[in-house]
Copies of this chain bind each other. A is one copy, B any other.
Amino acid sequence: MPENGASAKTASAKTAPATPGLAAAQETKRQRTRMIIRAVGMLPVLLLLCIGFHVLSDGRFFTGQNIGIVVQQSAVNTVLAAGMTFVILTGGIDLSVGSILAASAMAGLIISKFPDLGALWLPVAVLTGAVFGILNGALIALLRLPPFIVTLGSLTAVRGAARLLGADTTVFNPSIPYAFIGNGALTLIPGVVSIPWLWVIALLVILVSWLVLKRTVLGVHIYAVGGNESAARLAGIKVWAVLIFVYGVSGLLAGLGGAMQAARLYAANGLQLGQSYELDAITAVILGGTSFVGGIGSIWGTLVGALIIAVLSNGLILIGVSDVWQYVIKGLVIIGAVALDRYRLQGSART
Contact = CB atoms under 8 A, between A and B. Distances in A.
Interface of A: 139, 143-146, 148-150, 152-161, 163-164, 168, 276, 279, 282-283, 286-287, 292, 324-332, 334-335, 338-339, 342
A330 B159 CA distance: 11
A161 to B, nearest CB: 6
A335 B154 CA distance: 8
B160 A338 contact: no
A157 B332 contact: yes
Contacts of A156: 327-328, 330-331, 334
Contacts of A145: 335, 338-339, 342
A327 B154 CA distance: 9
Nearest to A155: B331
A328 B143 contact: no
B160 A339 contact: no
Contacts of A164: 324-325, 328
Contacts of A328: 156-157, 160-161, 164
A336 to B, nearest CB: 8
A283 B339 contact: no
A157 B327 contact: yes
Contacts of A326: 160
Given A149-B286, A160-B326, A286-B149, A143 B342 contact: yes
Given A324-B168, A342-B144, A334 B161 contact: no
Contact of A339 (B143, B159, B161): B143
Which of A150, A329, A335: most chain B CB closer than 10 A? A335
Nearest to A343: B143
Contacts of A163: 324, 327
Contacts of A157: 327-332, 335
Contact of A146 (B150, B158, B286): B286
A282 B147 CA distance: 13
27 contacts: A139-B339, A144-B342, A145-B335, A145-B342, A148-B282, A148-B286, A149-B286, A149-B338, A150-B335, A150-B338, A152-B279, A152-B334, A153-B332, A153-B334, A153-B338, A154-B335, A155-B331, A156-B334, A157-B329, A157-B331, A157-B335, A159-B327, A159-B331, A160-B324, A160-B325, A160-B326, A160-B327
